Amino acid sequence: MSGPRRSVTKCILPSGDGYGWGICGGKVSSVLESRGLVEIVRDYPKVGYVEDEGSVLQAIASVQFNPFSGVVADLDHSNIGFGFIEDNLLAAKFAPMGRRFWDVVVCGSSWMSKWIRDLGFDTEVILQGVDPSVFHLTAPPEDDLFTVGSFGKFEYRKSQDVVVKAFSILRSRHKDVRLMALWGNQWLKQSTHLFQAKDWLFDGGNYSLDDIKNALHRSGIGPSFGDDIVMDGNVMNHLVPKIMSKCDVAIFPARCEAGQALPFQEATAMGVPSIVPVATGFTDYTDRADYPMGDLLLRGGKVYTHGSSGVDLGEWTMPCLDEVISQLEYAYQMRDKLRSDRKKIADFGGQFTWDATADRFEAVLNAWS
């Protein structure tokens, strides 16, 4: 559907300060509401369908394309879905049902939009943003330690196992290195999925949080080695800059991102040099002509079929461990150069604000409501 917007769109997105989806949903909702473009629905049915007068913007809750709530648009308006889905092969099985419900799917990256569009959906691409009052250029660290930062859930998809292995090798070469990691989240059971990375971290099986901490210790990582590791609970978003500002380099070798990894965007806005793959959702940053960190890119990953229990889930990219180690070594040797690059990195990252995200949503609402 197209044409001028005839009513205020109902908005139902997750909200929370300690995880990416909640931060994104909360920021998008509040900015759009402040512009008079949406009405945030806080009391809604979880199941069933309650038809609402006007269009509805809400989160896609799962790979099955389920809506976040039981509220749907009336027949004269649109159901606008917004989401981040990494398991494209599994999602294809549920596409017919999804096409019947969603009039348009707003995707967090061009990578996701391409395969969603190939499944027969209308799509729009809107990137997440950062809060420039919180994430902005800071002075580089001044201590003698070379500090590597790792942020995001401690899980297989985020490739934190690769971070552990690569950093442990860096530490075997240099004693003046430190890892600062914010790996805590409210889905700690996902950390046990790292048994899929048995070649690099574990030897198979399911693991408790204590088992994971012990495995890290065996890899030479943890508080007893001078590292700062947070694995228990969430860290509120406004506290993250204090930790990021201490990092000489951040590393995000994710096997798949349907967005760009919000902590990567935040680190970039702060001017923190970051190691990321030229793959999946990261390419909305890395493919730009003005991307300022080309010397830190991971180009050697191989696309593979990610699966579990005999089921093909998604086409992800396996990072090349040797390349990750090489880029960490490069960052260690070139720390002075990278510190001098921080302003141009922050200038690039500062373009991607929540206001810019809301501008794109406003255009989508005008087109589809």
Find the range with the poorest average confidence among 94-98, 113-117, 159-163, 285-289: 159-163
Count CA atoms within 13 Å of residue 212 on its CB side: 25
Q: In the prediction, which pLDDT does 192 show? A: 52
Model confidence at 326, pLDDT cuts 50, 70, 90, reads very high
Q: In the prediction, which pLDDT does 1 show? A: 40
Q: In this model, does residue 5 exceed pLDDT 50?
A: no
Q: How far apart (Å, rounded) are the C-alpha atoms in residues 338 and 251?
A: 14
The per-residue pLDDT for range 112-126, each reduced to its tens digit, is 999 999 999 999 999
Average pLDDT taken over every residue of the chain: 90
Percent of the chain residues topping a pLDDT of 90: 74
Residues sharing a CB contact under 8 Å with residue 246, sequence separation 6 or more, in sequence order:
141, 147, 149, 180
Q: In the prediction, which pLDDT does 207 show? A: 60
Q: Are 105 and 123 in contact (CB under 8 A)?
A: yes
CATH number of 146-349: 3.40.50.2000
Domain 9-129+353-368 and domain 146-349 have a common topology: yes
Percent of the chain residues topping a pLDDT of 70: 89
Name the CATH superfamily, with its identifier, for domain 9-129+353-368.
Answer: Glycogen Phosphorylase B; (3.40.50.2000)
If phi over 0 gives left and psi between -120 and 50 gives alpha, with beta otherwise, what is residue 61?
alpha
Q: How far apart (Å, rounded) are the C-alpha atoms in residues 295 and 274?
A: 10
The strand pair at 311-318 and 302-308 is best described as antiparallel
In the DSSP assignment, the letter for residue 60 is: B
Q: How far apart (Å, rounded) are the C-alpha atoms in residues 42 and 318?
A: 40
In the DSSP assignment, the letter for residue 141 is: P
In DSSP notation, 65-119 reads --BSSSEEE-TTS-EEEEE----HHHHHHHHHHHHHH-SEEEESSHHHHHHHHHT
The per-residue pLDDT for range 86-109, each reduced to its tens digit, is 999 999 999 999 999 999 999 999
Model confidence at 202, pLDDT cuts 50, 70, 90, reads low
Q: In the prediction, which pLDDT does 188 show? A: 58
Average pLDDT over residues 158-170: 94
Q: In this model, does residue 149 exceed pLDDT 70?
A: yes
List the chain domain ranges: 9-129+353-368, 146-349
Q: CA 116, 119, 121 angle in degrees (round to 5)?
A: 65
Average pLDDT over residues 206-225: 82
Among all chains, which residue has been given the structure tokens 């996902």?
190
The per-residue pLDDT for range 22-74, each reduced to its tens digit, is 999 999 999 999 999 999 998 887 766 666 678 999 999 999 999 999 888 98
Residue 256: alpha-carbon gap to chain centroid: 9
What tokens does 23 get? 């931060």
